[in-house]
Structure 1
């Protein structure tokens, strides 16, 4: 059974960075929270309780289940259906039985997904509510039980010979499952014997130990010292407040936060290096046991991504580093500093400029910005606005941040914590991009083919952001506003393309060295990371030695070779938006075909058919040409 959106989001939520300015990602995506004040400019103590939130600002989870009784009935139905799956064990050697088993698997999967999503989303409304804490655990437990009960399907089918599998793939009776069977056959070379697979399953909990240990150390045990704010008052430094301090206009505050964070990590460098080494060694173990040439190729194999996609990204960003160096030079000039330091990267470049955007204004501006996508897309966007897809404002104990989620068979949902600022407006555009991706794919495809991969997930969301930014820049007449927008966009390129590619290159170097038998001491890791920062940021940046410890605070390194998808997704989205704005309807038609393709083919092929070939460096170069234009406009405004 494919990972459902529910299970994928659960995986990704556990891996989100603690204070990173780039969007996180999942099959339905999660943006990291920016800890601004609530929209009503009131203290946290006066946040409304969930019961006090007006209905028009809440999502309609009753569209998924009318009430708890309906949820309970479906829960019992899943247990009954799961028990009935036993009738197919030992019989998956001919087309009719396989077809019936796949149909049952899909029915179980859809019900389980809805149960899980409904429980988890209710929990996110009010994380202190014990009713939905318990319901979420119940749904999670059921998901595990379902996975275990259906685990016989793939090994049984793969016990057939290649010629038998080829016959199944061509069998008209299984035409709905052609891609599923093709995928199974592709995976066959890396599936072990029943006994070996059982043994690997038993060590599964051990394999998660590095990530678990790092998470406990990073989230529970790590304590930062207090620092002084711009008024000389001692304030608490936390994972959540760190990015705010780096955005502080006061340079002394930024430097104090920066040094305090990395001094704290440096004190734990031996322990964290040991956890990262353990994770790398675990990856090497699995790649060798499953007969992959390298950890990188093992990590790419699941989505059938050629190794060249990864290496092209790194190589193309290398050739584009002069653009990032040019941006660093411009940032140094705009800040008016003699030396640009690492703690200056998030400092505001436009003094005291704020865009006050209400939720109603944000909805309209997003709709205006997405006009190039045509009337049908805008109609579905409005349907989402009007029909309970979105949970809008912060309330007491509501989950922070934002995401889009949902289950096949019902409309998608979006969780926001809207504030009256630019970031919240872009968050709305971003999450509705995910929502409409799911809406199109769910309505065009059967259940298992509608589930798109994480490699594709950020494309639709970021395309929306790119189109909105183009609209805002074209209509802006205030030079200060325009500079504010351009700075926001330039930093998206810096953090989502360059920074994530640097992370990806670090992972590649570290794994290759380990595979060659080289050591990875804390000093080795810090030296590799420091040299990459020097290379990426150029001569106009003073690369402070403290940054050499940043590798120790990146949780994504425990889900290896994942971060490159941020950069490829952003590049593909930039390419799509450029084509839509330049070509018009033909490009729109290709883009909508992409949204309707879900996971019905390999990710690279889906993008290629829609006009973006990620196996070549061209989409990344197109994104870099947009970045260059942004820098040029910023330079012109500073003359």
Structure 2
């Protein structure tokens, strides 16, 4: 079917960006206002902490400035995403981004000046000026990290090192994405196809085992040819993080990274321990996969091919929305009526059109609707994507409605919780209502693969990251052979005795960009586990759990992410949430075992 031009898509399927700016003139007017506010903001320089009045006025002015800038940049980016071919939209987005950079520069004096405050002076300021208490959590969070902030001159030197510090990741990216070329192989139709990053997973999903095996071996053997360069770039990146953590007075790079969100290292360690304690259920899932595929030996290149033939889910958008509403009905009236408003008042940009950005996301500002970009195709995946992005948007909606601007955003540590909880409730509803055995198997396999790739695999990545960092911190060298040996052993541990852990997988670490993200990946697993725990509480406890969950959605960043989740009923400093999520995984594995 030929793609439509945007003008040919009915208005009800297009997001309402005009509610943010009715036209370009309105955007330009706000742009001039932002430039003026940014220039005015410089009057606070060297006076931020002189008095309680000064501190309050500076923070108030900062909020006003960033509110306008956020509206301008978000609108320009989303306008471009509607049709990336339009040069006027490209120019507008560029103008919005440049403004953001200028504003960051003009407000850069703020945090260093705040950090000259001591807690006694701050307490005195709170007493003098009641309104300043609004910013207590924000200021406490800044001052909490004061021991790890250097002098203004030292911070300036570190900031100027930014480009040098990013070099290892850039080297990895250039080598992996630009310079490396992969071999040409035969696909299922016996046609020549060059392996690329984009088609590797589709090749690994092929029904033809020989295609999967060849793609797997050829891709990783190519990486083996550059193993020493990849080891050097990864070693350089980790050494940079370790250097930064030492210079900022942390005991380790993991402590430095997690401290940004005030997350204790025990959360990381508990995740790994809980997954280790439940590896037997992953090993059983591998045995089921081996049986379902009917192979004598299960190999690493057999992990992505579907074990259930495609169920024919054809779900038009309106029908998908109705399914989502029914699935989320346990969340009760306050949530459901807000979601209804979202579907009915053009939060969602539904269909693909020529030039539209691919993929899906939720985006917006404190002052706008929490918009959703989709490229909806009448598939089961599209329904899950819609539920997922609506989860993000509802989190933003309730945070903005219930928090002042300064706390309306939320931490990356909890960013995927609301979206994944929606998916979990949708999956629960569909499993309870599906009639066809093959459709049920398809749903179970979809869910189990989410667990495998989000909890088990990301935790394996997290353990690898921690192990190699500690190896360097204890004086070890990060050679290619050490990295390959460590990575292969972890695969053997996680996937178990029912699969052949092929030698080629030992070099997989070399193609994973997340190992350059400094202890980021564990949050995929903790966020997923927290979402599963919350969705299970909602289904089992009803009203009380819903009330706690809505409290979580309304909290924004008014407290630290660990505390926000605790109030919702999930204590990520204990092993319980991950254990409970993996108990559900175990039950799903047992259910699939009976059906296969």
Secondary structure of 1:340's aligned partner? coil
Q: Which of residues 426, 450, 474 is equivalent to 1:492? A: 450
Match 2:68 to one of 111, 126, 131: 111
Matched with 2:46 is 90
Q: 2:27 aligns with which of 61, 71, 86?
A: 71
1:335 corresponds to 2:304: no
1:321 aligns with 2:321: no
Contact 2:310/2:442 (8 A) holds in 1? no
Question: Which of 216, 239, 242 is the matching residue for 1:281?
Answer: 239
CA 176–565 in structure 1, closer or farther in 2 if over 3 Å, else same = same
In the TM superposition, what are the counterparts of 1:200-599 in structure 2 within 5 Å?
A: 200-599=158-557
1:168: Cα distance to partner?
3.6
Q: What is the root-mean-square deviation in Å for CA atoms of aligned residues?
A: 1.3
- Alignment correspondent of 2:567: 609
| Aligned equivalent of 1:25 | none
1:120 pairs with 77, 87, 95, which one?
Answer: 77
**Are 2:121 and 1:164 equivalent residues in the alignment?**
yes
Q: State how far apart, in whole Å, the 1-side matches of 2:91 and 2:177 are.
A: 23
- Normalised to the residue count of structure 1, the TM-score between the two structures is 0.91
Partners of 1:85 and 1:150 within 8 A in 2: yes
> Are 1:96 and 1:173, in contact at CA under 8 Å, matched by a contact in 2?
no
Contiguous gaps of at least 5 residues in structure 1: 1-41
CA change 1:264–1:397 in 2 (3 A) is: farther
Paired residues of 1:433 and 1:461 also in contact (CA < 8 A): yes
- Output the TM-score relative to the length of structure 2: 0.98
Q: Report Cα offsets for 1:411-455 as digits up to 9, x if no partner.
A: 111111112211111111100000000000000011111110010
Is the CA contact (8 Å cut-off) linking 1:296 and 1:561 kept in structure 2?
A: yes
User: Once the two structures are superposed, what CA deviation does each residue of 1:305-364 show, in whole Å capped at 9, x if it has no partner?
Assistant: 001000000111111111111111111111111111111111111124231111111111
CA contact (8 A) 1:165 1:185 kept: no
Q: Structure 1 residues 271 and 126, CA, compared in 2 at 3 Å: closer, same or farther? A: farther
Please, which moves more after superposition, 565-574 or 369-378?
369-378
Q: CA deviation at 1:630?
A: 0.5
Q: Structure 1: how far apart are the matches of 2:279 and 2:556?
A: 34
Aligned to 1:404, the other structure's residue is in SS state strand
Distance in 2, matches of 1:258 and 1:288, equals: 40
Residue 102 (structure 2) aligned to one of 141, 145, 159: 145
Q: Deviations over 1:250-302 (max 9, x none)?
A: 21121122122212222222222221111111101110111111000000001
Using the alignment, how far apart are the partners of 1:224 and 1:216 within structure 2? 14
Q: Deviations over 1:523-560 (max 9, x none)?
A: 11111111110110000010111111111111111111
Question: In 2 relative to 1, CA 237–49 (structure 1 residues): closer, same or farther, beyond 3 Å?
Answer: farther
Higher mean alpha-carbon deviation, 219-228 vs 184-193, is at 219-228
2:4 and 2:146 mapped to 1: Cα distance?
Answer: 54
User: Where does residue 112 of structure 2 map in the other structure?
Assistant: 155
Q: Does 1:628 align with 2:583?
A: no
Secondary structure of 1:541's match? coil
Name the CA distance, whole Å, in 1 between partners of 2:443 and 2:579: 22
2: CA distance between counterparts of 1:169 and 1:534? 56
Q: Using the TM superposition, give the Cα deviation of residue 51 of structure 1 relative to its aligned residue in structure 2, in angstroms.
A: 3.1
Provide the rounded CA distance (Å) in 2 between the counterparts of 1:367 and 1:453: 27
In 1, Cα distance between equivalents of 2:241 and 2:42: 33
Aligned pair 1:81/2:37, yes or no? yes
- CA distance in 2: counterparts of 1:137 and 1:211, whole angstroms: 24
Deviation at 1:132, TM superposition (A): 1.9
Indicate which of 149, 154, 161 corresponds to 1:196. 154
Deviations 1:162-201 (A, max 9, x none): 3223434565231111101111210111111111011111
Match of 1:3 in 2: none
Q: Is the 8 A contact 1:190 1:290 kept in 2?
A: yes
**1: CA distance, partners of 2:22 / 2:173:** 37
In 2, Cα distance between the equivalents of 1:180 and 1:117?
A: 23
Equivalent residue, structure 2, for 1:135: 92
- Give the Cα–Cα distance (whole angstroms) in 1 for the partners of residues 57 and 245 of structure 2: 34
- The Cα offsets for residues 584-606 of structure 1, whole Å up to 9 and x where unpaired, read as 00000000000000110000000
Specify the SS of the correspondent of 1:227.
strand
The reply on whether 1:56 has 2:12 as its aligned counterpart is: yes
8 Å Cα contact 1:372/1:581 also seen in 2: yes
> How many Å separate the matches in 1 of 2:239 and 2:217?
31
- In structure 2, the residue matched to 1:14 is none
CA distance in structure 2 between the partners assigned to 1:402 and 1:429 by the alignment: 11
**Which runs of 5 or more residues in structure 2 are unaligned?**
none
User: Greater shift after overlay, 113-122 or 219-228?
Assistant: 219-228
Contact 1:169/1:181 (CA < 8 Å) preserved in 2?
Answer: no
Contact 2:257 2:519 in 1 (8 A): yes
2:139 to 153, 157, 181: 181
- In structure 1, how many angstroms separate the alpha carbons of the residues matched to 2:526 and 2:462? 11
Q: Aligned residues, how many?
A: 594
Alignment correspondent of 1:4 = none
